[in-house]
Chain A
């Protein structure tokens, strides 16, 4: 009998990837394609959802060809996706009505401020567990309905559909205008500001608050369940899972027990802690979100600490300053010196996320002297990621009452040994990288495989997990305390930079 695989589609912010995994959770083939980032105005970030669909049409077959497999050998496909990015499309033609508005887009800042001033604004966080902020989907939907003539009427009639990227791709894969399934999963729905975090269904109070018509919304389904069968790209294959990328990483890291946490280091970094079947409300600037839901089982919740800029700071060092040629070279340059030379970089490029949530903060480099070289700056760039992780871990420990004992890490930056050692040093806990660094893709594959019985249960998935690398803390406690204090003083200096009327 021919080998059978599970396919994952990771629809990310900069690219879409298709990966085939075998029964041991091992990566068999990868195909990837980047899509264009559109910046039509300052603060606006858009993707062309049709381009992303076409990319999938190419890489799906390519991943199969690389493995020498045909669609019949794919037991199921799971999707992980960039969260919150909003696609609106015409139900009858299958054509997006505007470009997709990406989570980084800040066009709704005025709208969000306006909404936040309403006396009933407190209900938002109470009902959905998230702050009112620009990157969640609801304000974007509202903005598009307000700014596109005739759109609201079409949306109310159900002629225009809303979805995050997984909804869009599932709808297209299952036939589009010809009977495509219009669904989303609980984790993605939990990022819209429209889902009730307790009942896991669209909440009328929230729909009213944001002025979003129910007719345009997808049906909310569990993260692992067969949504439909593909009629295109990989005909006959069951589409059996969808998760937001960070939740997929939590799943791929097999953080199935209460108190287990992972941090994914990419453009931004996201620390998620499994809090079990009860949503935990944060008093330290973390988000309450759904971790995953397997079929008819109760949902598992998570606390999330979001850091806006980590890998993006390395990219800025490369593209904005031209101090390195490729991102991994940052380690080479940082190793030319022994320490940061007293220099700290706080990358509050668009304000600070968790645990500060200061939108008026802007980035700074402090401690500059004539002694500072490119090497010191490179160190400060990497250390910024370490300290931001520390701040989020401190908040998690305070909110959950648990003390993190190990940090499971994944994502591209885990190839950076200097950074991983630094994180172990500043957290004072071991940092562990699992054997598959592609945990986002693996998580989507796991959920899909679980839904169709390719893998029997969570325990079976856990057995696939193996430690690939481990970094143990080795920093002198006094040095750690002193450096953390310096970092915190640097952070304070970023506050209150943008004055209330500076933004147009």
Chain B
């Protein structure tokens, strides 16, 4: 088993130091207190700043604990902010794929629709922002189950609710599907929620690669899938590229 990672130990020590006393310290004070070279301390502080755990006062240059650290226990990314940051790419995905686009996050065992772009055919459609959908029967929900341990933990053991003949019914089957999703990096739902409908989704990641939501398209199965009932490869690429573009804007490392 590998030993402790030195830079993480040092980062923890810096956070402890900032959590004490006045909570505002300069670079030299931090470096001196911990017996670190200024360059080393600066590198760690910059990384902590990037992930939002530390903030630097513009005027004095002093460091303090960041807002992200204070909200560690609550939601990582405000859903309205997620929509705001994703809106351009969601539009582009709808225009490119010709299908409706939705973005979803996990809320108490359900998939919450936080953004919806109409299918670009100018027919009458209704916004379903705020709607709750089943996790195990939707492409977006399965993406979140595959990558978000908390979401997965919220799924009850035993039989799953069936919405159609194709819905995944057992946790065992679901576990197998999720590992497949992690392997390929995207998920599909072919008539698992609604007969005649199919969808494709991919994860949206934030800092450090943390999955903060899922983004996908949905439409009639004959448009979304090929003659073998598999999602069309070009649509899968559009969805993955769009989710990657949002992730890049949110500060995710490239993958």
Instruction: Report A's interface with B, CB cutoff 8 A.
Output: 24-28, 30, 325-332, 412, 414-417, 435-438, 466-471
Contacts known (A30-B88, A435-B91, A466-B122); A332 close to B79, Cβ less than 8 A: yes
- Cα A327 to Cα B84 in complex, Å, equals 9
Q: Which residues on the B side are within 8 Å of A328 (C-beta)?
A: 78, 80-81, 83-84
| Shortest beta-carbon distance from A435 to chain B in Å | 5
Q: Within 8 Å of chain A (Cβ to Cβ): is B157?
A: no
Chain B 58-95: CB-based contact to A (< 8 A → 1; otherwise 0): 00000000010000000000111101100110011011
Nearest chain B residue, comparing its CB with the CB of A418: B80
| Shortest beta-carbon distance from B253 to chain A in Å | 17
Contact indicator A466/B78 (Cβ below 8 Å):
no
- Cα A435 to Cα B121 in complex, Å, equals 11
Say whether chain B's binding surface is mostly helix, strand, loop, or mixed: helix
Which listed segment binds A: B28-36, B112-120, B132-140, B142-150?
B112-120
Contact indicator B91/A326 (Cβ below 8 Å):
no
Contact indicator A331/B80 (Cβ below 8 Å):
yes
Contacts known (A27-B92, A326-B78, A437-B91); A468 close to B83, Cβ less than 8 A: no
Q: Which residues on the A side are within 8 Å of B121 (C-beta)?
A: 466
- Cα A26 to Cα B91 in complex, Å, equals 8
19 inter-chain pairs at a CB distance below 8 angstroms, sorted by A residue, are: A24-B96, A30-B88, A325-B67, A325-B78, A329-B80, A329-B81, A330-B80, A332-B78, A332-B79, A412-B84, A415-B80, A435-B95, A435-B117, A435-B118, A438-B88, A466-B94, A466-B95, A468-B94, A470-B118
Instruction: Report B's interface with A, CB cutoff 8 A.
Output: 67, 78-81, 83-84, 87-88, 91-92, 94-96, 116-118, 120-122, 125, 127, 129-130
Q: Which residues on the B side are within 8 Å of A26 (C-beta)?
A: 92, 95-96
- Cα A467 to Cα B116 in complex, Å, equals 12
| Shortest beta-carbon distance from A484 to chain B in Å | 25
Contact indicator B118/A467 (Cβ below 8 Å):
yes
| Shortest beta-carbon distance from B68 to chain A in Å | 9
Q: Which residues on the B side are within 8 Å of A27 (C-beta)?
A: 88, 91-92
Contact indicator B117/A415 (Cβ below 8 Å):
no
Contact indicator A471/B84 (Cβ below 8 Å):
no
Nearest chain B residue, comparing its CB with the CB of A421: B127
| Shortest beta-carbon distance from A9 to chain B in Å | 17
Nearest chain B residue, comparing its CB with the CB of A24: B95
| Shortest beta-carbon distance from B143 to chain A in Å | 22
- Cα A467 to Cα B94 in complex, Å, equals 11
Contacts known (A435-B120, A468-B118, A469-B116); A416 close to B80, Cβ less than 8 A: yes
Contact indicator B83/A469 (Cβ below 8 Å):
no
Q: Which residues on the A side are within 8 Å of B88 (C-beta)?
A: 27, 30, 437-438
